[in-house]
Structure 1
Amino acid sequence: MAQRIHVEQAGDPRVDDFRELSTADRRPDRPGGRGFVIAEGTVVVRRLLASGYPVRSLLGVERRIDELAPDLAGVDVPAYISSAEVMAEIVGFHLNRGVLAVADRAPRPAVADLLRTSNVIAVLEGVGDHENLGALFRNAAALGVGGVVLGPGCSDPLYRRSVRVSMGNVLRVPFAPLEPWPDGLALVKSNGFRVAALTPRADSVRLRDLAAAGGKVALLLGSEGPGLSEEALSAADVAVRIPMADGVDSLNVATAAAVAFYEFAER
């Protein structure tokens, strides 16, 4: 059972894990980074509690901690309770969702292990926007994608904004970095995946036609703006496109991913 502890002063050292999150929740390799996984709001906190990430503690207003009582019944961590005003002083900004949880990072699966348990995966290159990445993970969870493989230039899926936008689904969908790039795609292919690069090029195959052919597929998606590098496109088995209306040549990467995931989820 979680230990309910009231915090009256923002300077209480017991809540240091939550302090000044706008600057302190960076990757471990960045200046000031502590590398924690931070969940915001009851829905995302529940997903963190149900995940394999080792939860350190919670901080929230009493009403939100009360709402999480069933989820905390078997969890032996402190649940710090404060007023909204004290919480804002600790965190560094006003948090509308009223509750946070912080956890340590968990070991990531190897790419080979991820491939063995999946039929459809996403492979990303240069997806550096945290919100796009979080939305993509949410789409992957909703549409049954087995995992996400990260190439160069991708942001950290466990950054607070990505976790929030994904509604905690970055904690459910396995992900792993792929190196070297793009030569590492040979490992994906050797596990029976066809690497399909999404591109608006007119000479590419329609996405629906590829989906109809069946088989295991790795959907290769690039960054906003420039899209996939020429090296990544050359390493793919096939280039595919989402047909669009005249005058429109691209979609937001998370939206394009959702369309592609849906085509394969349907089959």
Structure 2
Amino acid sequence: MARVVEIDDAADPRLADFRDLARADRRPDRPGGRGLVLAEGTVVVRRLLASPYPPRALLGVARRVEDLAPDLAGVDVPAYVTDADTMAHVVGFHLNRGVLASADRAPTPDLAGLLAGARRVAVLEGVNDHENLGALFRNAAALGVDAVLVGPGCADPLYRRSVRVSMGHVLRVPFVPCDLDEAVAALRAAGFVLGALTPAGDPGAMAGLAGHERVALMLGAEGPGLSAAALAAADVRVRIPMAGDVDSLNVATAAAVAFHATAGVLVPGGRTGAP
């Protein structure tokens, strides 16, 4: 059971995991710093507690910590309870959601092992906006994507904003950081067809891509899109048909359309059937 500890001093050293979240040079969730995972709000904290990421501590107002009591029953971590003003002094801003949790990072999955059990994966290149990345992971979880390969130039999926925007689903969709050559070689070895989403692609190609047993959907940054090397590595270039003179979508929106188009039969709690 989590140990509830009441705290009224914002300078208490036990709150180090949650301090100065508004300071880019001090944030505890920076990969180059302490590299912690931070979950914000009861829904996201619940998903953290049910994830492979080892929890370290909670900080919240009494009502939010009480809401999480069933989820904390088998968790041996401190739950620091304080008032909203003290919490704001600790984190550096007023936190509307009233509770935070910290965790250590989980081990990175083995790429070949991860692909061995996957049917659809997303391959990202240069997706450097944390909110887009979080939304993309939420879409991946909702639409049955088995894994995400996080390529060069991408933001950190475990940055607090990405975790929050994903509603905690970044903590349940396995991902592996890897370079483009490594990703392409592993996908080819595992029998995946690579489809690159690009405004210069074939608007009729999505249906054909959906017919393959194993599909990797390649997505690039908004603006520059996929690199020439990524486009050259793809088996097919895919364009989402659009009306009027609009030539592209937000990357998370484009990902959702492509994930759904290649999903097969989706059911609550999972996916079954073929496209």
> Which TM-score band applies after superposition, normalised by the shorter structure?
over 0.9
1:143-170 deviation per Cα after TM superposition (whole angstroms, max 9, x unaligned): 1100000110001000000000000001
Are 1:6 and 1:81, in contact at CA under 8 Å, matched by a contact in 2? yes
- Partner of 2:17, secondary structure, is helix
- Unmatched tracts of structure 2, length 5 or more: 265-274
Are 1:111 and 1:177, in contact at CA under 8 Å, matched by a contact in 2? no
Match of 1:229 among 227, 246, 266: 227
- Unmatched tracts of structure 1, length 5 or more: none
1:181-200 to 2 correspondence within 5 Å? Answer: 181-182=180-181, 184-200=183-199
Cα distance change of structure 1 residues 141 and 61 upon mapping to structure 2, 3 Å threshold? same
2:107 pairs with 1:104:
no
Are 2:135 and 2:165, in contact at CA under 8 Å, matched by a contact in 1? yes
Matched with 2:271 is none
Q: Structure 1 length normalisation: TM-score? A: 0.95
Q: Residue type of the partner of 1:224?
A: E
- Overall identity of the aligned pairs, in %: 65
Are 1:25 and 1:160, in contact at CA under 8 Å, matched by a contact in 2? no
Matched with 1:115 is 115
2:173 pairs with 1:170:
no
Q: Structure 2 length normalisation: TM-score? A: 0.92
- Partner of 1:200, secondary structure, is strand
Report how far residue 187 of structure 1 moved. 1.6
1:21-60 to 2 correspondence within 5 Å? Answer: 21-23=21-23, 24-29=27-32, 33-60=33-60
- Partner of 2:262, secondary structure, is helix
Q: Residue type of the partner of 2:209?
A: L
Equivalent-residue separation in structure 1 for 2:17 and 2:73 (angstroms): 22
Match of 1:260 among 254, 258, 261: 258
Matched with 1:62 is 62
Are 2:201 and 2:237, in contact at CA under 8 Å, matched by a contact in 1? no
Are 2:122 and 2:149, in contact at CA under 8 Å, matched by a contact in 1? yes
Cα distance change of structure 1 residues 68 and 174 upon mapping to structure 2, 3 Å threshold? same
Equivalent-residue separation in structure 2 for 1:202 and 1:177 (angstroms): 26
Equivalent-residue separation in structure 2 for 1:252 and 1:28 (angstroms): 26
Are 1:146 and 1:173, in contact at CA under 8 Å, matched by a contact in 2? yes
Cα distance change of structure 1 residues 202 and 71 upon mapping to structure 2, 3 Å threshold? closer
1:83-98 to 2 correspondence within 5 Å? Answer: 83-98=83-98
Structure 1 stretches of at least 4 aligned residues deviating more than 6 Å after TM superposition = none
Matched with 2:131 is 131
Equivalent-residue separation in structure 2 for 1:77 and 1:53 (angstroms): 13
Equivalent-residue separation in structure 2 for 1:35 and 1:22 (angstroms): 16
Equivalent-residue separation in structure 1 for 2:182 and 2:118 (angstroms): 20
1:70-89 to 2 correspondence within 5 Å? Answer: 70-89=70-89
Q: Residue type of the partner of 1:223?
A: A
